[in-house]
Structure 1
C-alpha cells in the first residue's frame, strides 16, 4: 500500500503560474500528476506520485517558489525509494470567485 503525503498551500501568484510551478516541481522530483481538480479560480487540487525520498526536496522547492505550506514534508519515508501518493491543495489568494459565464440556451 502506498503512503500518502498531503500538503496545503496558500499561493499569492497568479493561478496559471502557480499550477505550472507545481507541475514543474512534481516533474523535477521524478514524479507525475495522476489527477487534478480546479475549483474556479479560488482553489486547485493536484494528485501526484513522487519517490518517497524526494518528498522533502519537493516541498522545499514549493516554498522556494513562494508557496506558503501548512506544514513541512516530513515523515519516516525519507529513506524509501517507494512511490508516495500525494495531494497538493492550493488556495489562490488572488482568486476572484466564480468563473462561470452565462450562456444563452440552445433553441
Structure 2
C-alpha cells in the first residue's frame, strides 16, 4: 500500500496566482490534480498524482517561484517507475481580512 506524501508550503504570492502555478507545474511535469480544498484566503490543499522522477523538479520549480516547500515532508527516495500520490498544503501570508462568502438561504 502506497502512503500519501504530505507536503506543506508557505508563500506571499496571491492565492489565485499560486494555485494556478501549482496546477500548471504539475501538468507540465506529467502529473494531475485529484482534488482541491480552499479554506477562505488562508490556505489551499491540493491532492495530486505525479510521476516519481518528477518530484525533485516540482520542488525546484515551486521554490524558484517563491513557494517554499517544507523539506521535512519530502521522501528520501522516489521510485522512478511509479506514480506518487500526495497533497500540498499552501498557507498564504498576507494582510487581507478573512474572505467571507455569502451562504444562500435554503428553503426548509
- 1:30 has 2:25 as partner: no
Alignment check: 8 A CA contact 1:9 1:67 kept: yes
Q: Distance in 2 between matches of 1:88 and 1:22?
A: 9
**2:10–2:68 contact (8 Å) kept in structure 1:** yes
Flag the 1:30–1:93 CA change in 2: closer, same or farther, 3 A.
Answer: same
After superposition, the C-alpha distances for 1:55-85 in whole angstroms (9 at most, x for unaligned) are 11111110011112211744221x4220100
Closer/same/farther in 2, CA of residues 94 and 51 from structure 1, 3 Å limit: same
Over 4 Å off, 4+ runs = 102-107
Q: Structure 2: give runs of 5+ residues left out of the alignment.
A: none
TM-score, with length taken from structure 2: 0.84
Structure 1: gaps (5+ residues): none
Q: Is residue 5–residue 75 contact of structure 2 (8 Å, CA) maintained in 1?
A: no
Q: Which residue of 1 aligns with 2:14?
A: 14
Normalised TM-score (structure 1):
0.85
Is the partner of 1:50 in helix, strand or coil? strand
Deviation of 1:25 (Å): 1.1
How many residues are aligned here? 106
Instruction: State the distance in 2 between where 1:59 and 1:27 align.
Output: 14
Q: Structure 1 stretch 97-106 or stretch 14-23: which is displaced more?
A: 97-106
CA 1:82/1:10 → structure 2, altered by over 3 Å: closer, same or farther? same
Between 1:1-10 and 1:95-104, the stretch displaced more is 95-104
